[in-house]
Amino acid sequence: MKYSISSKIRLNSGVAIPMLGLGTWRAEGKECTQAILWAFEAGYRHIDTAAYYGNEEAVGKAIQDSGLDREEIFVTTKVWNDDHGYDNTIKACNNSLKRLNLDYIDLYLIHWPVSGRRIETWKALEKLLNDGKARTIGVSNFMTSHLEELLPNVEILPAINQIEFNPYQYQKGLHQYCLMKYIQLEAFAPIVRARKFDDPKLLELCKIYDKKPAQILLRWAIQHDIIVIPKSVHKDRIIENSMIFDFEISDDDMTILDGFNEDYSILMWNPKKDPQFK
Ligand SMILES: NC(=O)c1ccc[n+]([C@@H]2O[C@H](COP(=O)([O-])OP(=O)(O)OC[C@H]3O[C@@H](n4cnc5c(N)ncnc54)[C@H](OP(=O)(O)O)[C@@H]3O)[C@@H](O)[C@H]2O)c1
C-alpha cells in the first residue's frame, strides 16, 4: 500500500512534511483546540492555520495541551495580504509566533500572491528561514505566472505551493510545472467542502471501494503524491478523513477521477484572473 498515516514527503528544503494535515479555516476557539486534540488522537501530526483565520491561539493551546513533543508536530501558518512587504512580514511572523506560543513555525507561506509586493515579501520569508523562525517556506495560491515571476528572484526556492486542488479543480498544468521545479503541491479544499458528495460519478466509486466520498477524494490526491489538509471540527469526520491509507484506487479509476475536472472553485477570489493578484 502506498503511504500510511505517518507518511511524510521530503521537500526541496530537506524538511519532511506529513502527507495528512488538519485544516482549520472557520474553526475557532475551544472548538478548534478540541478538533486538533481529536486529530492528534487519530494520528494526525500536521496542522494548517493562518493569521487570517484568527485561531492561532487556539492552535497553540492544542499543541500545549497535547503533551506531544514540539518536534513531532508540523505547524503551517501564513502571512496575510495586508501584511505584505519586508518589514510588515517580519512583524506578522513574530506576531503569529507569539499567538501560537511557539519558537518556530514549520512552514510559513505567503497566503496570496498580492500584486506588486510578493517578491519583497518572499525576501522576508528567506530572512525568517535564515533566522530560524521558519523551518521551511513556501507560497499559496500561486499560479504558473506568479511562480515564473518569483523564481528568478529567489535565493531559496519555495518548498510548497498550497492551492485549491481536488478532482473538480484538477490543476494539472500547475502540478506539472511545480513537479518540474521541485515545488511540492499541497491541496486545500481537498474534499470540495463536501459540495460534490452527491455527484453520482463519485458515489459510483464509493460503492466500488466501500468508502465515503471524502475518502475517495483524499485518496485521489494522496495517489498523486499531494499533501492534503481536510478540515473538520467533528470527531467522526476527522477520523473518517484519516482512514485513507487502507485502500488503493486503481489506475483506471484514477483516470476516471482525473476526468471530473470542471474548474469548480470554492474560492471568493480567482487567483488566475483577479486583478489584485496580477
Ligand atoms: N491557502 C488558502 O488560501 C486556503 C484556502 C482555503 C482553505 N485552506 C486550508 O485548507 C483547509 C481545507 O480546506 P477547506 O476547509 O476550505 O475545505 P475542505 O477541507 O475541502 O472541506 C471542509 C468542509 O467539509 C466538511 N467536512 C469535513 N470532513 C467531512 C466528512 N468526512 N464528511 C462530510 N463533511 C465533511 C467540514 O465541516 P465540519 O467542520 O462541520 O465537519 C467543512 O465544512 C482549510 O481548513 C484551510 O486550513 C487554505
**CB-based contact 134:105 (threshold 8 Å):** yes
User: Whose alpha carbon is nearest atom 24 of ligand 1?
Assistant: 193
Q: Is the dihedral of CA 3, 4, 9, 10 positive or negative?
A: negative
Residue ranges around ligand 1 (CB below 6 Å): 23-25, 48, 111, 140-141, 162, 188-194, 214, 229-234, 237, 240-241, 266
Per the CB < 8 A criterion, the answer to whether 57 and 33 are in contact is no
Which residue out of 47, 78, 165, 191 has the highest number of ligand 1 atoms within 8 Å of its CB and is therefore the one to mutate?
Answer: 191
Fold of 8-195+225-246+261-277: TIM Barrel (3.20.20)
87 Cα: distance to centroid of ligand 1 (angstroms): 31
CA of 239 to the centre of ligand 1 (A): 14
Domain ranges of the chain: 8-195+225-246+261-277
Q: Find the length of the chain.
A: 278
Q: What is the pLDDT of residue 1?
A: 73
- Residue 177: what pLDDT? 98
Query: Has 53 been annotated as catalytic?
Result: yes
User: What is the chain's pLDDT, residue by residue, as a tens digit (278 residues)?
Assistant: 789 999 999 999 999 999 999 999 999 999 999 999 999 999 999 999 999 999 999 999 999 999 999 999 999 999 999 999 999 999 999 999 999 999 999 999 999 999 999 999 999 999 999 999 999 999 999 999 999 999 999 999 999 999 999 999 999 999 999 999 999 999 999 999 999 999 999 999 999 999 999 999 999 999 999 999 999 999 999 999 999 999 999 999 999 999 999 999 999 888 988 888 98
Nearest CA to ligand 1 atom 15: 231
pLDDT at residue number 236: 98
pTM attached to this predicted model: 0.98
Marked catalytic residue, from 53, 108, 168, 170: 53
Q: How much is the pLDDT for 270?
A: 87
Q: Residue 254 is which amino acid?
A: M
* Phi, psi angle pair for 13, to nearest 5°: -85, -5
Distance 202 CA to ligand 1 centre (A): 18
CA–CA separation, 244 and 260 (whole Å): 20
